[in-house]
């Protein structure tokens, strides 16, 4: 009987940890990438799946400048707004997302960065088979919004995107 209670307790703890794990990944990403003074491509790669990290490491030129621009926008924001909240798509106040539409199909791992009662960024995570999470996309607001539509920058698609986007 003790073993059953112990196993149930361990399962409950693990299930609870998994629920917050995506938020922890985003928080770590913010601390390691956005709150640093210097752009470091390898810091971003650490939060991507191995396949996506290899693809991301190969970007250069205007595509890398665009990623630096996005990071710079987050850095400017976090320089003035130190407090933020990471909110899952299902839990977001609908008034905050009323003015725009995220052009993405699966909202299972979509999280918003909320500061001063405004959405200041969007993160999309991906879960792999062993329940670990990877950053799939990040995008600051309002740079992502054009006419209310937000097209997230999917990092593993960046290598093959046309240069004319920038």
Domain that holds residue 110: 20-165
Side-chain-facing half-sphere of 27: CA atoms under 13 Å = 11
CB 128 within 8 A of CB 134: yes
The whole-number pLDDT of residue 9 equals 39
Q: Is the pTM of this model over 0.85?
A: no
Q: Domain for residue 68, yes or no? A: yes
Q: What is the pLDDT of residue 163?
A: 57
10-residue averages of pLDDT along the chain (166 residues): 43 39 92 86 87 81 85 83 89 85 86 88 84 81 58 70 56
Answer whether residue 8 is part of any domain.
no
Domain count, the chain: 1
* Position 105 in a domain: yes
- Does 4 fall in a domain? no
Asked whether residue 160 is assigned to any structural domain, the reply reads yes
Domain presence at residue 104: yes
Count each helix (H run) and each strand (E run) in the chain, helices first: 4, 7
């Amino acid at each position: 009987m003790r073993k059953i209670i112990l196993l149930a307790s361990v399962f409950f703890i693990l299930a609870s940890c998994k629920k917050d794990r995506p938020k922890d990944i985003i928080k770590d990403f913010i601390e390691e990438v956005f709150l640093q003074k210097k752009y470091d491509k390898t810091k971003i790669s650490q939060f991507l799946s191995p396949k996506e990290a290899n693809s991301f490491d190969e970007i250069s030129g205007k595509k890398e400048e665009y990623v630096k621009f996005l990071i710079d926008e987050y850095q400017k924001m976090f320089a003035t707004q130190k407090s933020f909240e990471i909110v899952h798509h299902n839990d977001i106040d609908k008034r905050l997302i009323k003015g725009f539409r995220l052009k993405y199909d699966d909202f299972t791992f979509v999280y918003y960065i909320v500061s001063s009662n405004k959405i200041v960024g969007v993160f999309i995570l991906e879960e792999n088979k062993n329940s670990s999470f990877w950053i799939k996309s990040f995008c600051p607001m309002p740079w992502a919004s054009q006419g209310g539509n937000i097209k997230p920058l999917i990092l593993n698609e960046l290598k093959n995107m046309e240069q004319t986007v920038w």
